[in-house]
Structure 1
Amino acid sequence: MSDRKEFRDLATPEAAREAIESLDLSPTPETVSLADARGRVLAERVDAAIDVPGFDRASMDGYAVRARETFGADEADPAELDLVGAVHAGAAPDVTVEPGTCAEISTGAVMPDGADAVVMVERTDELGSGGDGVDDDGPSRIAVRTSVAPGDHVMTAGTDIAAGARALGPGTRLTPREIGLLSALGVDEVPVEGRPRVGIVSTGDELVRPGEALNPDRGEIYDVNSTTIAAGVEEAGGEPVLYPHAGDDYDEMERLLRRAADECDLVLSSGSTSASAVDVIYRVIEARGELLLHGVAVKPGKPMLIGRLDRGGSDGGDGDGDEGVGEDAARNDASVGESAYVGLPGYPVSALTIFRTFVAPAIRDAAGQPEPATATVEGRMGVSERYSEGRLRLMPVGLLDLDDDAPPLVYPVDKGSGATTSLVEADGVVAVDPDTEVLDAGEAVEVQLFSPDVRPPTLLGVGEDDPALNRLLDRLANPRYLAVGSREGHRRLRDGVPDVAVTAGPTDREVGAEALGGWTREWGLVVPDGNPEAVTGIADLVDRDLRFRNRPTVSGLRRSLDTALDDLADERDADRRDLAERIDGYERTAKAFESPARAVVAGDADAGLGLRETAERLGCAFVPLGEQSVVVRAAPDRAGREPVAALAAALDGDGGRGGINAILADLPGYSRNSRNDP
């Protein structure tokens, strides 16, 4: 009998939020040094214990005077005062300003006895003892060419803040401004809200820590979620604690979760939440705590878990494999009671989306941190998007700010929840209501950013992936490029979202766009070093038992290969589809331009579709089949944008090492296009 967990009754997103709000994540307030206080939130009111300033001080350079001695003084009839000395900041005055005298004073210096005002140095003249010049040993008299009132240019004691006054209240987030005030008050440590300790446990036998060796034969992958979610926890104001991976074993998972519950206010796991016979984590929660809900009507993230874990009884572990992000993973004082628990999906995009939408607000609230003002932005859909699944959709999207005083363009970035590149190609999510069937182009939407630090790209490009293009993009300021292939690049440029599209090889589609420039690259078959199978061309792939690795149909390289295969079919008076079926691996495609070559290097293929540049860089032999033109085209209404103009300038070949000529000179099989269009 199967013990598969079924999602029969999905909770609403509102119910999920209420369940998380019912969890107690509140940490104990703590005291930290002022040096460590930036970004923390005050737990108590701070009153001034001293006057600031603690003395009457000069607010500018000049002369300390008795104000009444200057009454009536002006440019025509200055008041002349005897100079009795000088007072400098950080030193106690050793002079007294008597009637008819003054003292030189520096900004911030203590006002000497007898003085009640400061005359700016710019409104005075230095005189000698005779009143008509400066003596060799310095001025002995000062001519004051303006009158001042008592208190002019003097900051009296307590003017900034007086002893006993309220300085900062509880809930204040400590930025450099507040830290400056606390420093002025002589405060060296402050009471702050505690940071919720958040334990992070990634589950799955296939996971490997970044930096360790992968075994692809076992289906191993790097653990993305632990570090991604840890960064999100820290950004939300929590203290992340990483634990070792938990395999798909009940006892191991129970041990790790109980240990994390003993040491943390909140435990987050990723993976092992879906309706699978090997996904056992929900059973651990039911046995060792309370499962509040399992399954939420949201896409992505349906298999989310929310519950509580009982504290107490863990063995504490031996510490092997633990990594504390922030401070050491010391045991939480509250070793009894309950710890909050949320189970996130295993796919990175789903995990980050659910964390950002449901969990991060709870961490911020527990830490006393406000929602960042830049956490959401208003945008407008760049294309229409249809949806009709009857549940809340958190749609990953990218942003493009066109600097036209209009909200940024919003475009879907949907490569599937398992595509980690969506983490950097998407800027946030748009929450699409279950009842919404279509978002129209131009429709206003609210984008929930993955991070308040997200900055939209200055330029958005789509199309063919290419080594020369990669180097060219490195020379631009914050571009984003989506390698979707030449055919898809054509389509997206017509839809009006990207600034530019890069296409390669033959095309049968008209594109109303402005060609900015381009280059030519040599394409063909990448084979092992020395060409042990003596491959000479496409005919060998058709006629011989050779393993081949192809590119997808959206690729410009694939279009060139298919055109060459058409020519071979014409020569033989055969059907191209029949020839293609005879190629072992014709339908086995790899997305990136050098992936087929890497399959050759790994011994998984005898030949792969690729470029001369790739073959030489990877130490392979190359069988040339032709040259292919690569063209960079701009949307007509974007050609005047500054980032597009910068790209066009680089494509002109100027700019020294930043221009296309210098780039192509370093790439085997590349040359400059003699004309912009293929």
Structure 2
Amino acid sequence: MSERKEFRDLAEPAAAREVIDSLDLAPEPESVPLADARGRVLAERIDADLDVPGFDRASMDGYAVRARDTFGADEADPVELDLIGAVHAGAEPDVTVDPGTCAEISTGAVMPPGADAVVMVERTDEVREAASGDGADGGDGEADGDDGTADRIAFRTSVAPGDHVMVAGADVAAGARALGPGTRLTPREIGLLSALGREAVPVRGKPTVGIVSTGDELVRLGEELDSARGQIYDVNSTTIAAGVEEAGGEAKLYPHAGDDYAEMERLLTQAADECDLVLSSGSTSASAVDVIYRVIEERGDLLLHGVAVKPGKPMLIGRLDRSPEAERAGESAYVGLPGYPVSALTIFRTFVAPAVREAAGQPEPATATVTARMAAGERYGEGRLRLMPVGLLERPDAAPLAYPVDKGSGATTSLVEADGVVAVDPDTDYLDEGEAVEVQLFSPDVRPPTLLGVGEDDPALNRLLDEVDRPRYLPVGSREGLRRLRDGLPDAAVTAGPVEREVDAVDLGGWTREWGLVVPAGNPDDVTGLADLVDRDLRFVNRTTDSGLRTSLANELAALAEERGVERREVTEAVDGFGFAVRAYESPARKVAAGDADAGVGLRATAERLGLGFVPLGEQDVRVHANPDRVGEPGLDALRDAVENSDAVLDDLPGFGR
């Protein structure tokens, strides 16, 4: 048996950050076309090598003049100048403005020689002179100027030299410092670089991050999943890759590695040869099969193993030597992340993402942290930094509420139910309700939900929530939903079946649904009711105790026990699988469809959708209960409207109605 690697002398989080900061992740600068430069960071100073504009140009439509020719002009006593021609934008002037003359000019046009100012057209009048002589029309019957063009222009204002003229270099002068290193290129900077004629710009390189997931149980997306072998889809690779890209790096996914030492060594060496940073997930905990730390020790330098933080204690930090065949010499940085998705993302966001941003020259997002209030008290006392996943609930005209999301590090739904983490100091034993906390968002794009609902899962509810802007619904069951509503956290709780305890709430309406036993197609065991489960050797799948379906089933079994004159426990114990509970409303039916059970509690709508048989046992009343302190808020109003206008949804679901 191989030696078991144990966590001794866990490093403090600050020490882990220092070790990561000591790693060199920064790639060499690169030149990119200007069209691809948005969002990149300049690697060096950009000086202007030409004037912008490169000529004196008019800043408005009007007339180019010698300013001294307009001195003294006003509304009562305008000055008239001869019009000698016109200058248009994009054309070289073919006229010269001499004393006593002017030229029509367009915005952006080159100032003609001799002119030093522009008079806006609104302060001028055209002057047409009649033909000279004794009144004769010169033989053609028309006076000079009657062809529609003016001979002279009257100026009703005076201007000074330079008025309404942008001189060459006024925007950027040749030799001036245009942009400095570290400037993040937005559309504004792209425009300036375009004006300078830069087709390509030097930018800081994006750190290339190789991602390797380990563990024999993982399957990549697109491959066939065998749940019977305990296989799960590889969540970490895609999640961490998205985090790398968001932080300004370039993610590179490598083939999945199992728990085989040789394959791990091969993949990690290849990634080190090609990347600035290598990230792995899994195979970092203190287990005899976890061999990755040995790869690092033998192929590089293991700098740290284990950090005093929850979640994420089993974190590795080190360096990997590049092979002699690699295109570049030296070492690649290495960080080993925990295997559970929430732990992996939390550790990446807290320790690794800042280093990737630093290497890419990207700033910390301004909106990455928000102040919230604890929705309920939270006790903690493990003596190490806790990175507590929390969900946020938007509150009108107030700070959002933060509530812990703790479904276990292995629950991938926590990735979307949690909006960020609260760093709880090791010396903090308790967070009070209403206490202000800083929430480090998983992403600057996170927007808190406008509605938080909890309670029974239901197919009609799933569709009605589509009518609400940014809802979040936690299917914790009817009983737990009511408990949380009594504690005041959610906006609404949904119950199904009999409600054992009353709660102070506003009824937003509801619907009914037919429930019973889901059986294989054609009902091959000829199940007719609960008595068959009690009296026959049939495998059954139940729902969890918080479920309204479980409550209705238990009540029916209690009635059967009373009818037979026996204890309820005697009846439930006779049902093979009564204690085997699954979480979601479709789960029992799927067990039946897979051949793992002969019957399961469920809904008619589920049975028909999956092509299974159904034995009806009754109807359940589904009710939506609103938090009385939140009535009138936009999220609840939208939910109320959806429930009131749910006829089309209910008509589309077999067994549902009012």
* Counterparts of 2:486 and 2:150, CA distance in 1: 80
1:382 corresponding residue in structure 2: 375
Q: CA deviation at 1:135?
A: 4.1
Q: CA deviation at 1:133?
A: 13
Match runs of 1:89-488 below 5 Å: 89-130=89-130, 135-313=146-324, 333-334=327-328, 336-404=329-397, 406-488=398-480
**Residues 519, 146 of structure 1: alpha-carbon distance in 2 compared, 3 angstrom cutoff:** farther
Matched, 1:624 2:616: yes
Matched, 1:668 2:654: yes
Matched, 1:510 2:502: yes
1:14 corresponding residue in structure 2: 14
Q: CA deviation at 1:219?
A: 1.5
**Residues 630, 60 of structure 1: alpha-carbon distance in 2 compared, 3 angstrom cutoff:** farther
Q: CA deviation at 1:137?
A: 3.4
* Counterparts of 1:495 and 1:64, CA distance in 2: 77
Asked if the contact 1:266/1:341 (under 8 Å) is kept, the reply is: yes
2:36 corresponding residue in structure 1: 36
Over the residues paired in the alignment, what is the CA RMSD in angstroms? 1.9
* Counterparts of 2:497 and 2:28, CA distance in 1: 64
Aligned partner of residue 585 in structure 2, secondary structure:
coil
AA of the residue aligned to 1:111: M
1:543 corresponding residue in structure 2: 535
* Counterparts of 1:637 and 1:93, CA distance in 2: 74
**What 5-or-longer segments of structure 2 have no aligned partner?**
132-142
Deviations 1:170-192 (A, max 9, x none): 11111222111111111111111
* Counterparts of 1:434 and 1:178, CA distance in 2: 45
AA of the residue aligned to 1:48: A
**Residues 84, 183 of structure 1: alpha-carbon distance in 2 compared, 3 angstrom cutoff:** same
Q: CA deviation at 1:281?
A: 0.4
Aligned partner of residue 550 in structure 1, secondary structure:
strand
**Residues 524, 83 of structure 1: alpha-carbon distance in 2 compared, 3 angstrom cutoff:** farther
Deviations 1:500-539 (A, max 9, x none): 2222111122221212221111111111121111212222
Asked if the contact 2:467/2:638 (under 8 Å) is kept, the reply is: no
**Residues 600, 152 of structure 1: alpha-carbon distance in 2 compared, 3 angstrom cutoff:** same
1:593 corresponding residue in structure 2: 585
Q: TM (normalized to structure 2)? A: 0.95
* Counterparts of 1:72 and 1:612, CA distance in 2: 94
Q: CA deviation at 1:87?
A: 2.3
* Counterparts of 1:283 and 1:133, CA distance in 2: 100
**Residues 293, 608 of structure 1: alpha-carbon distance in 2 compared, 3 angstrom cutoff:** same
**Residues 458, 89 of structure 1: alpha-carbon distance in 2 compared, 3 angstrom cutoff:** farther
Deviates more, 1:553-562 or 1:107-116: 107-116
AA of the residue aligned to 2:649: I
Q: CA deviation at 1:67?
A: 2.7
AA of the residue aligned to 1:395: M
**Residues 666, 166 of structure 1: alpha-carbon distance in 2 compared, 3 angstrom cutoff:** same
**Residues 242, 70 of structure 1: alpha-carbon distance in 2 compared, 3 angstrom cutoff:** same
AA of the residue aligned to 2:618: G
Asked if the contact 1:127/1:134 (under 8 Å) is kept, the reply is: no
Asked if the contact 1:356/1:450 (under 8 Å) is kept, the reply is: yes
Asked if the contact 1:526/1:600 (under 8 Å) is kept, the reply is: yes
Deviates more, 1:81-90 or 1:412-421: 81-90
Asked if the contact 1:126/1:133 (under 8 Å) is kept, the reply is: no
* Counterparts of 1:102 and 1:648, CA distance in 2: 72
Q: CA deviation at 1:145?
A: 3.4
* Counterparts of 2:471 and 2:83, CA distance in 1: 65
1:324 corresponding residue in structure 2: none
Instruction: Give the percent of matched residue pairs that are identical in Structure 1 and Structure 2.
Output: 78
AA of the residue aligned to 1:151: G
Q: CA deviation at 1:78?
A: 3.6
Asked if the contact 2:405/2:417 (under 8 Å) is kept, the reply is: yes
**Residues 135, 567 of structure 1: alpha-carbon distance in 2 compared, 3 angstrom cutoff:** farther
AA of the residue aligned to 1:186: G
Q: TM (normalized to structure 1)? A: 0.92
* Counterparts of 1:344 and 1:452, CA distance in 2: 22
